């Protein structure tokens, strides 16, 4: 029964996607050439690039898989940094350090309002166009949803639960681990899921602005060469990877929220 439910769930979720690509395939037959490429041609072109062992002439000495790996590594570094700093600061400002909250929160809110696309040139001036610039851009864009969601979650913890734990003799550390952390986890994961989406958008923007590798750079090269199938394919590839990462965080969230139900002081 569980297997049938799972299959039914997958089929229902896949139907809109299948319908979208079928409509795309049909529409591509009536749209003038040079405007869009059909899903079939995109799949064929991308498969050819994905299984390629030696880089093509206009690929910068790397295969598509290697370009993808470069982008993912930049995202991983920037996201790990933003996650570490954002979660720590979110808890610090939302729990025991009210004076720090009054001092830093307005400043962070101003920083969050800055358009990350508009300040890419600033990062390029400070860091150049090497790896550190890409990581810094991802870090800057991804830290704010993590920090503010963690802060909001920590602030919304029921004071009665904290007071009850302190009355029972729990230390600040035990209150944090047993009450504040489990109650804040849903907000933390909301921030992480928002941040990973932003990170994928920003790495493409950073690589479009200046890079010699990565999916964004690959996209530009195919656009210059007017290879429409690979242009659309690179967009679909980064979208697919982002969806996979979002699904991964959703699974992790479910796992850790089970732990939350059994949390104790």
Q: Does residue 54 fall inside a structural domain?
A: no
Range of the domain at 166: 66-111+118-261
Q: Does residue 202 fall inside a structural domain?
A: yes
CATH number, domain with residue 126: 1.10.3720.10
Q: Does residue 212 fall inside a structural domain?
A: yes
Q: Does residue 160 fall inside a structural domain?
A: yes
pLDDT at position 2 is 64
Rounded Cα–Cα distance for residues 129 and 81 (Å): 19
Q: Does residue 16 fall inside a structural domain?
A: no
Q: Does residue 210 fall inside a structural domain?
A: yes
Rounded Cα–Cα distance for residues 137 and 28 (Å): 36
pLDDT at position 264 is 43
Query: What are the pLDDT digits (tens) for 78-126?
Result: 999 999 999 998 888 888 777 787 888 888 888 888 888 888 888 888 8
- State yes or no: pLDDT of 37 exceeds 80: yes
Neighbours of 147 (CB within 10 A): 29
Q: Does residue 148 fall inside a structural domain?
A: yes
- State yes or no: pLDDT of 212 exceeds 50: yes
The mean pLDDT of 167-182, rounded to a whole number, is 76
Q: Does residue 41 fall inside a structural domain?
A: no
């Amino acid at each position: 029964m569980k297997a049938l439910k799972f299959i039914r769930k997958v089929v229902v979720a896949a139907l809109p996607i299948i319908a979208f690509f079928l409509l795309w395939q049909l529409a591509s037959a009536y749209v003038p050439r040079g405007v869009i490429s059909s899903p079939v041609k995109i799949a064929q072109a991308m498969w050819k690039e994905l299984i390629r062992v030696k880089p093509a002439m206009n690929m910068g000495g790397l295969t598509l898989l290697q370009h993808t790996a470069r982008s993912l590594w930049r995202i991983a570094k920037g996201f790990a940094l933003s996650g570490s700093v954002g979660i720590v600061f979110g808890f610090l400002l939302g729990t025991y350090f009210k004076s720090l909250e009054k001092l830093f929160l307005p400043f962070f809110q101003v920083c969050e309002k800055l358009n990350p696309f508009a300040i890419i040139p600033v990062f390029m001036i400070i860091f150049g166009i090497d790896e550190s610039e890409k990581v810094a851009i991802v870090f800057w864009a991804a830290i704010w949803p993590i920090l503010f969601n963690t802060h909001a979650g920590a602030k919304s913890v029921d004071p009665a639960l904290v007071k009850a734990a302190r009355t029972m003799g729990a230390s600040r550390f035990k209150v944090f681990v047993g009450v504040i952390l489990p109650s804040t986890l849903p907000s933390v994961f909301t921030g992480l899921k928002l941040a990973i989406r932003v990170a994928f958008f920003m790495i493409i923007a950073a690589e479009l602005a200046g890079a010699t590798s990565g999916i964004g750079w690959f996209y530009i090269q195919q656009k210059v060469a007017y290879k429409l199938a690979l242009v659309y394919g690179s967009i679909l590839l980064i979208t697919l990877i982002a969806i996979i990462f979002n699904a991964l965080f959703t699974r992790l969230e479910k796992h850790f929220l089970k732990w939350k139900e059994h949390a104790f002081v």
